A and B are shown apart, each in its own frame.
Chain A
Amino acid sequence: MIEWSEQHKQIRAMVRRFIETEIVPKREALEFGDTPPYDVLRKMLATFGIGEMNKAMFLKALEKEKRGEGTASLESSGKGGPAAADARAMQMIPIIELCRHSPGMVTALGVSIGLTAGAIMKRGTTAQKERWVPPLLTLEKVGAWAITEPGSGSDAFGSMKSTARRDGDGYVLNGSKTFITNGPYADTIVFICKLDEGNPEHERKILSFVLDKGMPGLVQSPPLRKMGLHASPTGELFLEDVRVGKDRLLGETEDQPARSSAKETFTAERTGVAAMALGIVERCLELSVDYAKNRVQFGRPIGEFQLIQLKLAKMEIARMNLQNLVFRQIELAGAGRELSLAEASAGKLYAAQAAMEVALEAVQLFGGNGYMAEYQVEQLCRDAKVLQIYGGTDEIQVSQIARSLLA
């Protein structure tokens, strides 16, 4: 059986204290003032030694890679064991804690480290890893992973218009991307596009390039206004004849298994949503229980009314289920296994819907207060919605699950 260990609880207490001291008082600025989240995230990584620890681990693995012993990544060896389970738990605790107050922070951090550094670690050459990964791990540099386009969302590869054309030793890149997390501030961008050899679009190879901020022809838009997740800046990228050398082509080969690589990325992205949803649901439940005990109507606390009790009970059920999903991931890491794409999709679908339902019910339970920005459930409710959209919409998760059932 898995339970949070004494050590896990200690980490949780420390991270919670940091968030309550450093992030909660800045809520106004982060939520309504366009303040980017990176300074406070950097401080968090530095305070707990997370960035430096990851960087040291990565550099050690990179030295090994140079000697021809394995490939450098931050992923567990795949052998499992208690240390791997512990490492996974320690990865999830800060996600849960951050999501209690600011799911946007997790998105900004996850995209920079998990997706951007993750993609370079997975597919890059040794030289590319050495060049781009270490500063991403400490958030000294901010990363973005650019796949979505105005005309390509769920059908990411099929409708993709961005192109790379061969040009001498290098390539010329064109296209526009949208809904790119960290896009407005990113220093390092993984840009996914199709190799245009004059062949039909559906036959084109998928390539990824690593771009730096300020390259001629690359424009990063200011943050887009959006419904929620305000702590995570989202923007557009425009590329017009951006010239790059082969050293920026991820893996330095045109024969990348890019589609399967993106799928691995989707699995990782979806896996993280259970922990995010747990944070949102935990907080909504905590606030709701408190409110139900203290809000008096018709001469008694509203928690004494059965309709309110039903809401609280359903929230608790969601919390238990989500915690079990998180524990399942810890257990799998201990066994040296990962979720399959279909399992990750099922978990993500449930987690996103549970978070949305709970947050909406929390707003309802708070009544007029719930609709006011002053009460935090209003923000969590707006933030939760994105979980049903990004990392694959609910509808895409359904088709992924069905495809694996009917295969």
Chain B
Amino acid sequence: MKILVPIKRVADPDNANKVKISGDGTEVTSEGLEWKMNPFDEWSLEAALRLTEDGKTKSRVGEVVVVSIGPKDAVATIRQGLAMGAERGILVEGEDKKLDALVVAKILQKIVEKENPDLVVLGKQTVDGDSNLVGTYLAEFLGWPVANYATSIRTSDDGKTLTIVRELDTGAATLEVKGPAVITTSDRILHPHAVKNGVTPDDFAYPESEGGRYASLKGIMAAKKKPVEETSAAALGVDAAPQVSYVSFKLPPARSGSTTFVESAAELVQKLRNEAKVL
């Protein structure tokens, strides 16, 4: 099975409180912040790696190609994916400012047409833009089925048929999907039994984790030698311009940060109702 995993680098979400807004309020500046792989993408990459390996023997049985769209140094994020275990990388050079969900989906469409993967697995959203659009747009452009917010994926025939559980506000829905397909994943995809591929024994449990797998030292060294193809939107024949423009940004109000100790639950309720006015 071959899986394409689009990954985006985002400003370290653990330091989101350090994000600043430019003087004219039209731009979020992330100067001085470290770049990290969008957590949702990291989790989708973990799901893709689980789909293409024998989890028990740790041997690869399929191929994962990671693709990122961004400036040249986004290649570091691709290398991180390769260090985790992906086989190849593709960097589509582009300026962050000139990308929106539509442009990204159009570029990905071209990559999919070139690579012919069995599946595209991506995070349900990025933690910077939060628009939750790319997966759905991409499926529409490809004419493929899409399953959003997947919490589990099961296949036994290299993704030709998939059983996917989606988490909804009202409960869980189980879908049967014919591949090739687009799947967007939620954090629950990291559950020890969330991904079954028919190769890893069904009773095998992955370790409990709040993130994708750690790259081993060996993996990090090997990633240096794995191929990363560089291309651009123009070379792919995509000339879309972003259709969304951001007018202004505003930071949330600073928190007061004061702490009050209460004696009882009743007092807590009373304070939340009368002082904080949140109940």
Contacts and interface: CB of A to CB of B under 8 A. Distances in A.
Interface of A: 6-7, 9-11, 13-14, 17-18, 21, 47-50, 53, 90
Contact of B220 (A10, A17, A21, A47): A10
Contacts of B216: 47-49
Contacts of A6: 76, 79
A95 to B, nearest CB: 14
A43 B11 CA distance: 29
Contacts of B214: 14, 17-18, 47-48
Interface of B: 34, 36, 76, 79-80, 83, 210-211, 214-221, 223-224
A49 B217 contact: yes
Contacts of B79: 6-7, 10
Nearest to B217: A48
B206 to A, nearest CB: 13
B199 to A, nearest CB: 22
A9 B214 CA distance: 14
7 contacts: A6-B76, A7-B223, A7-B224, A17-B211, A48-B217, A49-B218, A90-B217
B9 to A, nearest CB: 12
Nearest to B215: A14
Contacts of B219: 49
Contacts of A50: 217
A384 to B, nearest CB: 26
Given A7-B224, A10-B83, A21 B217 contact: no
B215 A10 contact: yes
Contacts of A48: 214, 216-217
B220 A53 contact: no
Contacts of A47: 214, 216
A83 to B, nearest CB: 10
B79 to A, nearest CB: 7
Contacts of B220: 7, 10-11, 14
A21 B79 CA distance: 22
B83 A53 contact: no
Contacts of A17: 211, 214
A87 to B, nearest CB: 10
A35 to B, nearest CB: 20
B217 to A, nearest CB: 5
Closest 5 CB pairs of A and B: A49-B216, A48-B217, A47-B214, A49-B218, A48-B216
A50 B211 CA distance: 20
B37 to A, nearest CB: 10
